[in-house]
């Protein structure tokens, strides 16, 4: 039978109620298995001053403090536990996951109490866009990840640097030719341009020189979309072509399923699905590795006008948003996994563009012709309820195109009134960074690499 060391005995301990001890370890070296390392790590690394955030009620704040400063029995927390320390009812690591879920739920509840976001009262910047083509079916503006906005004005294509505000001319098309589509590559090294006379060119953005001319279409190229090294083009000749810009023989695949001009193209974020919209009012969804004219994944026929505006949801890769033309005026959400329509919202105006907000669950729409007061507006909608947050109507003509800054904070709208208007509409609400840092450190105790 095991005998306790004699120095553990004392008259006090013999006369009092026996105490249960944890035996592993040493009297002078802390026992790792008995310590709450997650909580200790948080206390040791938290150097922030205590702050008060009105977004959190007193009960929630007290709950957070208790988790830091009290152990599982509600007693003052002890960082170091030695041999001979009273046995605690310390909970397992599974309790840490439960705490994380509780905190996430509390943070969500506190977020629901925040003041509803508001639209900006006016633009942050307005630029002139003389000679911009007032054509619903074209796509002549795109904002690259290099913070350069490319926009076609008549026969010319311009770069506007949003950091330096410098403007440069990339090219001026000759004769009666002009750009009808513009798209930056994902790495912003190249900009592709489709023309009214079916030409397709790829330009080097740094040297401002053309590097490829891609053939295959017989009529104007209305829309372009990049997927890594694959450039997809849609044309008035009803065809969609995938071009490998690295290969000598650029055409990878060709489909001709649309029965009218292809005026909208969007690759999903993962690059595995392509959505195409046509002037026959149909939307097709294609799988990257199975693209041929008879092998589409879905065909949605619920719109009653041309579908130019397409946008994949950044929070749910199975959700696609689409907008219909003048005779339709609806924003529709689709579940591409099930092939079903989620909802349809009558906007009362031609839908020319859609942009998802990456910082809040919202979507912005740009509008054109209408018989109601909603014409030429920008409208912000909550997702997934699709309730309208508000509208902006500074353009005196229809909104032709929408594009988003690389940081996802600003949206630029191009109008038939020959103006480009910049809106700080997607910015996150102001928060107390000190409180955020405190919460980050607090929650870090649940993800400590020490086990």
Of 393, 253, 234, 241, the closest CA to residue 307 belongs to: 234
Question: Which contacts of 284-290 are long-range, i.e. CB under 8 A and separated by 24 or more positions?
Answer: 284/257, 284/258, 285/320, 285/336, 286/255, 288/227
Helix (H) or strand (E) holding 64: helix 58-69
Main-chain dihedrals φ then ψ at residue 102, nearest 5 degrees: -65, -40
Whether pTM exceeds 0.85: no
| pLDDT by 10s per residue, the chain, length 451 | 444 444 444 444 444 455 555 455 566 666 665 566 666 666 566 555 555 566 566 776 677 666 666 655 566 656 565 555 554 444 444 455 555 555 555 555 544 444 567 789 899 999 999 999 999 999 999 999 999 999 999 999 999 999 999 999 999 999 899 999 999 999 999 999 999 999 999 999 999 999 999 999 999 999 999 999 999 999 999 999 999 999 999 999 999 999 999 999 999 999 999 999 999 999 999 999 889 877 899 999 999 999 999 999 999 999 999 999 999 999 999 999 999 999 999 999 999 999 999 999 999 999 999 877 778 999 999 999 999 999 999 999 999 999 999 999 999 999 999 999 999 999 775 454 444 444 444 444 444 333 3
If one counts every other C-beta atom within 10 angstroms of the C-beta of residue 77, the result is 15
Query: Do the beta carbons of residue 428 and residue 135 sit within 8 Å?
Result: no
Tokens (6 digits) for 229: 């090294």
Contacts of 282 (CB under 8 A, 6+ apart): 258, 259, 299, 300, 301, 303, 307
The three-point CA angle 254-260-262 to 5° equals 55
Residue 308 to residue 304: CA distance in whole angstroms: 12
Q: List alpha helices for 16-54, DSSP H.
A: 37-45
pLDDT at residue 259, rounded to an integer: 97
- Look at residue 87 and give its three-state secondary structure: coil
Query: Do the beta carbons of residue 39 and residue 68 sit within 8 Å?
Result: yes
437: left (phi over 0), alpha (psi -120 to 50) or beta: alpha
- Look at residue 283 and give its three-state secondary structure: strand
If one counts every other C-beta atom within 10 angstroms of the C-beta of residue 48, the result is 15
């Amino acid at each position: 039978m095991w005998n306790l060391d004699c120095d553990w005995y004392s008259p006090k301990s013999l006369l009092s109620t026996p105490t249960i001890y944890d035996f592993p370890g040493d009297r002078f070296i802390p026992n790792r298995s008995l310590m709450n390392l997650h909580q200790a790590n948080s206390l040791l690394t938290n150097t922030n001053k205590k702050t008060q955030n009105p977004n959190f009620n007193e009960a929630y704040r007290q709950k957070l403090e208790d988790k830091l400063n009290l152990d599982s029995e509600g007693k003052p927390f002890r960082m170091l536990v030695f041999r001979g320390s009273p046995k605690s009812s310390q909970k397992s690591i599974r309790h840490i996951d439960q705490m994380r879920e509780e905190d996430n739920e509390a943070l969500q509840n506190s977020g629901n109490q925040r003041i509803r976001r508001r639209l900006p009262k006016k633009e942050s910047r307005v630029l002139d866009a003389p000679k911009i083509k007032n054509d619903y079916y074209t796509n002549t503006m795109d904002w690259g990840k290099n913070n350069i906005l490319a926009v076609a004005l008549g026969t010319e294509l311009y770069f506007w640097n949003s950091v330096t505000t410098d403007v440069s001319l990339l090219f001026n098309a000759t004769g009666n030719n002009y750009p009808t589509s513009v798209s930056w590559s994902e790495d912003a090294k190249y900009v592709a341009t489709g023309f009214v006379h079916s030409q397709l060119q790829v330009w080097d953005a740094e040297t401002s020189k053309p590097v490829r001319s891609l053939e295959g279409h017989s009529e104007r190229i209305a829309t372009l979309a990049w997927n890594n090294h694959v450039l997809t083009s849609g044309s008035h000749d009803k065809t969609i072509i995938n071009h490998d810009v690295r290969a000598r023989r650029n055409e990878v695949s060709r489909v001709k399923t649309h029965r009218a001009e292809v005026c909208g193209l969007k690759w999903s974020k993962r690059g595995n699905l392509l959505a195409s919209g046509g002037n026959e009012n149909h939307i097709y969804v294609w799988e990257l590795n199975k693209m041929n004219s008879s092998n589409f994944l879905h065909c949605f026929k619920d719109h009653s006008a041309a579908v130019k505006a397409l946008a994949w949801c950044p929070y749910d890769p199975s959700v696609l948003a689409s907008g219909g033309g003048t005779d339709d005026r609806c924003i529709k959400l689709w579940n591409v996994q099930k092939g079903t329509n989620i909802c349809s919202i009558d906007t009362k105006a031609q839908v020319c563009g859609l942009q998802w907000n990456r910082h809040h669950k919202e979507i912005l729409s740009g509008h054109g012709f209408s018989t109601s007061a909603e014409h030429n507006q920008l409208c912000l909608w909550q997702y997934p309820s699709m309730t309208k947050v508000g509208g902006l109507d500074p353009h005196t003509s229809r909104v032709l195109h929408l594009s988003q800054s690389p940081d996802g904070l600003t949206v630029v709208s191009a109008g038939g009134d020959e103006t480009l208007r910049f809106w700080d509409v997607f910015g996150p609400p102001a928060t107390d960074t000190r409180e955020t840092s405190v919460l980050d450190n607090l929650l870090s105790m649940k993800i400590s690499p020490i086990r």
